[in-house]
Amino acid sequence: MFDLSGKTALVTGGSRGLGRAIAVAFARQGADIAVNYRGNVQAADEVVAEIAALGRNAVAIQGDTSAGREACEAIVKAGIDGLGSVEILVNNAGITRDSLLVRMGVEEWDEVIGTNLGGPFWMTRAIARPMMKARRGRIINMSSAAGRMGNPGQANYAAAKAGLIGLTKTTARELASRGITCNAIAPGLIETDLTADLPAAATDALTGMTPLGYVGSVDDVAAAAVYFASDEARYVTGQVLGVDGGIVMGS
């Protein structure tokens, strides 16, 4: 089940957190991995070494996914050059710049929209033609429960993550006839560096709203990504899977 042997995947923001867990989980299932990172080459090299120790091929690719069309095209090209192809794209890179909306500045808005929505758009734009030519592909977008239910202090983040769901569904519709699926994962509160600095009161409030009542792990999310990447998920596209302890229950 969920065998990814011989497949190739590019994971943005793959040097830590959810991206790292997804990269390693894919490699455990047999895939070769391009690990995109923005700044921390040492962390990216560690992930590459971990994947190599599993007997899989891995390359680290520096690149800023928020830097627009050319930057994303260069990341995709490096992935294809490094692995021979990229059959699975995980748009995972993301940031937070939290602020109440009446105080939110231009930079906080632009950076979060540019990274969390612009990045996945330009990465998808860059990978679409190679995947269409191959007549196969999997695109997995990392949305968030915040994009489905809103979250005080995260107008920028929630808007970007909700926009990413619109991008997911449109990509799914446009590329379906070429054998390409596109789905989103919407994690709730997951223990990573991104959430480490949250005040205890905020974490308690969120877990209090979560039916399962605890913070999730990166492996909970990686398992969902492995499923979407697999052949078994061939008939699943345009979907949003909450990995969130039940905080959002969509129809």
Residues that bind ligand NAD (CB under 6 A): 12-13, 15-19, 36, 38, 64-66, 92-95, 115, 119, 142, 144, 187, 189-190, 192-195
Residues whose CB falls within 8 Å of the CB of residue 128, separated by 6 or more in sequence, listed in order: 171, 175, 180
CB of 166 to ligand NAD, least distance (A): 16
Annotated catalytic residue 214: no
Q: Which stretch of DSSP H or E encloses residue 148? A: helix 145-149
The answer to whether the beta carbons of residues 19 and 12 sit under 8 Å apart is yes
CB of 92 to ligand NAD, least distance (A): 5
* Cβ atoms within 10 Å of 152's Cβ, excluding its own: 12
CB of 222 to ligand NAD, least distance (A): 11
Our CB check for ligand NAD shows the closer of 153 and 179 to be: 153
Calpha distance 117→110 (Å, rounded): 10
Our CB check for ligand NAD shows the closer of 74 and 132 to be: 74
The answer to whether the beta carbons of residues 183 and 238 sit under 8 Å apart is yes
Q: What is the DSSP letter of 16?
A: S
Q: Using the structure block, give the residue that is written with the tokens 């998808």.
A: 124
Our CB check for ligand NAD shows the closer of 4 and 222 to be: 222
Our CB check for ligand NAD shows the closer of 194 and 202 to be: 194
Question: CB burial class (10 A; 0-12, 13-18, 19+) of residue 169?
Answer: middle
Our CB check for ligand NAD shows the closer of 38 and 56 to be: 38
What percent helix, strand, coil does the chain show, rounded to 5?
A: 50, 15, 30
Sign of CA dihedral 64, 35, 174, 186: negative
Catalytic residue from among 157, 214, 227, 235: 157
CB of 212 to ligand NAD, least distance (A): 14
Calpha distance 161→148 (Å, rounded): 8
CB of 173 to ligand NAD, least distance (A): 23
Q: Which residues carry out catalysis?
A: 157
